[in-house]
């Protein structure tokens, strides 16, 4: 089960200035949410709408081909995953939560030379598979890492380098697809109508996660639950409901959306969520072309760790945050705290378990925020496993799609990141970028 407790949003708990009358607001918004749902499902059939991610959990043929490929990878102990943004963050978050039974994943999602060099020094090329992932097949950071990895493999393996590369990219766009074909490299497709930040349940995430021994079929089964709920009327449509909560918070001036799982295993989940919300909802124009400059600012936090860092700000700082907790009901393992002579002051802990403490801290923090009139809600997972995380990630993707409808923005493009990329090309002397290079020179910008 995945459930959401909205009680700490309610004006009856946190007062009318920060809170909302949740039941009434949900009832009032039901026609709008259901219209958004109908519009999204209708557009899901149109490849130009970039809603192909909606169908990924049903793609059992892709799942089977990923699983077949993984079975054939003899002697692979490590996987070098080259990708950035949506081509890395989902698998990175899920590997941190669920990996460990298979190959070790190493993500190269930055171009700082020292860590890349140190990683390659540690790995044995003969036991490493390089999975280069890029939807566009052109991203400079990923292509640079690929050039380095190719050279590293070739030096060690000679012509056998080809057995150690698998390419995940768009069927048509970019330089990776023709390169894979030219060299007969193994490859997987990112469907053209699936954008990077919505691609975790395509081979972008499924392949590295299956190599890491994660139950990828379980992920997809959970993701299907989120899709089923996204078809429901507003009263049972959890993604529409959390989208509404986020939207109402924005309208009340709570412009920062904190995601705070109470779990170190989920510590990287907020980084994935940050890209999902920031690129999807941070927009200058609405769909009719009016300037709007909208978008909640996503902020990562981790419980209980951040109780000793950010919670001070959340409780006493500006009234500009909505905090979303993620908790789980059951621990896979637990540790009992033994009694210790000389530490009797800690008697309240003796005989309790670490998980009991974690749960108490989560409940206490949510209430402490509510007590200070800080809106928050809690997503409760039965446990941290593939099924529930598949559900949670697809839920958050659906939430984002609903928010796109509520803000009336295109949640599936990211025009704001382009100019920085083009300036980078200009600074590196890429042909075709001479005018931008001249503009940068006039402004005194140097690499
Ligand atoms: O998968 P690609 O095309 O290499 O893109 C990587 C990332 O770069 C962006 O285009 C811009 O940050 C993201 O939307 C995307 O996830």
- The pLDDT > 90 percentage for the chain reads 100
Q: What is the pLDDT of residue 10?
A: 98
Residue with CA nearest ligand 1 atom 16 = 86
Which tens digit of pLDDT belongs to each residue from 360-379?
999 999 999 999 999 999 99
- Tell me the CA–centroid distance for residue 286 and ligand 1, in Å: 22
pLDDT (average), residues 132-136: 97
Q: What is the pLDDT of residue 124?
A: 98
Give the residue numbers annotated as catalytic, written as ranges.
Answer: 279, 308, 421
Overall fold of domain 3-41+234-407? Rossmann fold (3.40.50)
- Tell me the CA–centroid distance for residue 279 and ligand 1, in Å: 10
Which tens digit of pLDDT belongs to each residue from 69-88?
999 999 999 999 999 999 99
| pLDDT band per the 50, 70, 90 thresholds, residue 403 | very high
Mean pLDDT, the chain, whole residue set: 97
Q: Which CATH number fits domain 52-214: 3.40.50.720, 3.40.50.300, 3.20.20.70, 3.40.50.10490?
A: 3.40.50.10490
Q: Candidates 107, 143, 196, 207: which one to mutate for ligand 1, based on the most atoms within 8 Å of Cβ?
A: 196
- Tell me the CA–centroid distance for residue 82 and ligand 1, in Å: 12
Residue with CA nearest ligand 1 atom 14 = 196
Q: What is the pLDDT of residue 430?
A: 96
| pLDDT band per the 50, 70, 90 thresholds, residue 234 | very high
Residue 3's CB: how many other CB atoms inside 10 A? Answer: 11
Residue with CA nearest ligand 1 atom 11 = 417
pLDDT (average), residues 16-21: 97
- Tell me the CA–centroid distance for residue 211 and ligand 1, in Å: 23
User: Which ligand 1 atom minimizes the distance to the CA of 87?
Assistant: 1
Q: What is the pLDDT of residue 75?
A: 94
User: Which ligand 1 atom minimizes the distance to the CA of 279?
Assistant: 14
- The pLDDT > 70 percentage for the chain reads 100
> What pTM, to 2 d.p., does this model score?
0.97
Which tens digit of pLDDT belongs to each residue from 389-398?
999 999 999 9
Residue with CA nearest ligand 1 atom 7 = 85
Residue with CA nearest ligand 1 atom 13 = 85
CB 395 within 8 A of CB 273: no
pLDDT (average), residues 15-43: 98
3-41+234-407 and 52-214 in the same fold: yes
- Tell me the CA–centroid distance for residue 205 and ligand 1, in Å: 14
| pLDDT band per the 50, 70, 90 thresholds, residue 139 | very high
User: Which ligand 1 atom minimizes the distance to the CA of 421?
Assistant: 11
- Tell me the CA–centroid distance for residue 388 and ligand 1, in Å: 26
Q: What is the pLDDT of residue 229?
A: 98
Residue with CA nearest ligand 1 atom 9 = 85
Which tens digit of pLDDT belongs to each residue from 164-222?
999 999 999 999 999 999 999 999 999 999 999 999 999 999 999 999 999 999 999 99
- Tell me the CA–centroid distance for residue 394 and ligand 1, in Å: 19
Q: What is the pLDDT of residue 381?
A: 98
Residue with CA nearest ligand 1 atom 8 = 85
Q: Candidates 109, 110, 136: which one to mutate for ligand 1, based on the most atoms within 8 Å of Cβ?
A: 136
User: Which ligand 1 atom minimizes the distance to the CA of 190?
Assistant: 1
User: Which ligand 1 atom minimizes the distance to the CA of 204?
Assistant: 1
Q: Where are the domains of the chain?
A: 3-41+234-407, 52-214
CB 189 within 8 A of CB 203: yes
- Tell me the CA–centroid distance for residue 41 and ligand 1, in Å: 25
| pLDDT band per the 50, 70, 90 thresholds, residue 316 | very high
Which residues lie with the beta carbon below 6 Å from any ligand 1 atom? 84-87, 134-136, 139, 142, 196-197, 279, 414, 417
């Amino acid at each position: 089960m995945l459930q959401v407790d909205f009680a700490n949003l309610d004006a009856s708990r946190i007062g009318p200035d920060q809170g909302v009358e949740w039941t009434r607001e949900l009832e009032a918004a039901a026609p709008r949410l259901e219209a958004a749902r109908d519009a999204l499902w209708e557009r899901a059939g149109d490849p130009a709408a970039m809603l192909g991610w909606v169908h990924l959990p049903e793609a059992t043929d892709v799942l089977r081909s990923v699983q077949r490929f993984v079975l054939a990878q003899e002697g692979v102990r490590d996987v070098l995953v080259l990708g950035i943004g949506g081509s890395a963050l989902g698998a990175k978050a899920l590997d941190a939560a669920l990996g460990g039974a298979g190959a070790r994943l190493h993500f190269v999602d930055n171009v700082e030379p020292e860590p890349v060099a140190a990683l390659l020094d540690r790995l044995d090329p003969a036991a490493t598979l390089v999975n280069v992932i890029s939807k566009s097949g052109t991203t400079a950071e990923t292509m640079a890492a690929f050039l380095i990895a190719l050279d590293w493999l070739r030096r060690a393996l000679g012509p056998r380098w080809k057995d150690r590369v698998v390419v995940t990219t768009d069927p048509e766009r970019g330089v990776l697809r023709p390169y894979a074909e030219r060299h007969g490299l193994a490859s997987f497709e990112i469907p053209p109508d699936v954008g990077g930040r919505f691609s975790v349940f395509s081979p972008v995430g499924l392949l590295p996660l299956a190599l890491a021994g994660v139950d990828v079929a379980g992920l997809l089964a959970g993701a299907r639950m989120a899709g089923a709920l996204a078809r429901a009327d507003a009263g049972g449509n959890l993604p529409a409901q959390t989208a509404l909560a986020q939207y109402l918070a924005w309208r009340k001036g709570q412009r920062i959306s904190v995601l705070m799982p109470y779990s170190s295993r989920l510590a990287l989940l907020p980084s994935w969520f940050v890209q999902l919300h920031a690129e999807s909802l941070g927009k200058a124009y609405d769909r009719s072309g009016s300037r709007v400059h909208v978008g909640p600012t996503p902020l990562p936090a981790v419980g209980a760790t951040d109780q000793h860092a950010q919670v001070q700000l959340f409780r006493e700082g500006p009234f500009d945050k909505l905090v979303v907790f993620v908790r789980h009901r059951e621990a896979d393992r637990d540790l009992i705290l033994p009694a210790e002579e000389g530490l009797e002051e800690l008697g309240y802990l003796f005989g309790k378990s670490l998980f009991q403490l974690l749960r108490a801290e989560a409940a206490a923090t949510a209430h402490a925020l509510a007590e200070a009139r800080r809106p928050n809600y809690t997503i409760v997972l039965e446990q941290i496993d593939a099924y529930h995380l598949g559900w949670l990630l697809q839920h958050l993707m659906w939430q984002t799609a609903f928010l796109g409808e509520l803000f009336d923005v295109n949640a599936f493009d990211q025009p704001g990141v382009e100019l920085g990329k083009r300036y980078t090309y200009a600074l590196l002397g890429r042909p075709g970028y001479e005018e931008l290079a001249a503009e940068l020179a006039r402004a005194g910008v140097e690499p």
